[in-house]
């Protein structure tokens, strides 16, 4: 990693592990991934001055259409989780201002129905499809540079799911 990239900050971000009553986790298939079958949990940047929980609920609503009234916050990750972008994405994402993301994750229990999920709630949509999966499947569905973070989140939240 060159000195310029090493000197870039991490983008503040929140991630949401949304679980249903059967203990399955929501994943969405990304619209913008050209590499094929990339699924991920809802996540996004934290705006300046925005608190973690409101940011998580905003991102969840934008990406899934799930309203805050349909979820219960169960837990927050103990630590921030970091990942670096692969070289081919550096400079292309987020205006080249960040080397990757630093994320706090929240575990949320979904109390709604599948019909409450609306991927077109926000324009532009981030996901083109969605499904419920076993938590252990998550690291196999995410892009390679986020696998370590997904393994850590599954391990930390496993007993609460």
pLDDT tens digits along 55-99:
999 999 999 999 999 999 999 999 999 999 887 777 666 667 888
- Helix (H) / strand (E) element for 160: namely none
Rg (the chain; Cα; Å): 15
Question: In angstroms, rounded to a whole number, what is the distance separating the alpha carbons of residues 43 and 59?
Answer: 6
Its sign, for the CA torsion 150, 95, 67, 49, is positive
Question: In angstroms, rounded to a whole number, what is the distance separating the alpha carbons of residues 73 and 51?
Answer: 14
Instruction: Write down the CATH number for the domain with range 3-160.
Output: 3.90.79.10
Give the pLDDT confidence score for residue 113 in this predicted structure.
Answer: 98
Residue 86 CA to chain centroid, in angstroms? 17
Q: Which residues of the chain have pLDDT under 50?
A: none
Residue ranges of the domains in the chain?
3-160
pTM of the predicted structure, to 2 decimals: 0.92
Give the pLDDT confidence score for residue 2 in this predicted structure.
Answer: 64
Question: In angstroms, rounded to a whole number, what is the distance separating the alpha carbons of residues 3 and 20?
Answer: 44
- Helix (H) / strand (E) element for 60: namely helix 52-64
């Amino acid at each position: 990693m060159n000195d310029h990239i090493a000197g870039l900050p991490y983008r503040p971000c929140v991630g949401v592990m949304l679980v249903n009553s059967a203990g399955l986790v929501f994943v969405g298939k990304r619209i913008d991934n050209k590499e094929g079958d990339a699924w991920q949990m809802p996540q996004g940047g934290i705006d300046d001055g925005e608190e973690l929980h409101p940011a998580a609920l905003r991102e969840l609503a934008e990406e899934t259409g799930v309203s805050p009234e349909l979820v219960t916050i169960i837990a927050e990750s103990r630590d921030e989780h970091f990942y670096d972008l692969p070289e081919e994405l550096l400079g292309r994402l987020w205006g080249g201002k960040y080397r990757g993301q630093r994320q706090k994750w929240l575990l949320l229990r979904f109390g709604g129905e599948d019909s409450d999920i609306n991927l077109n709630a926000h324009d532009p949509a981030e996901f083109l499809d969605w499904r419920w999966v076993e938590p252990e499947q998550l690291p196999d569905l995410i892009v390679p540079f986020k696998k370590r973070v997904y393994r850590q989140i599954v391990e930390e939240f496993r007993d609460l799911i």
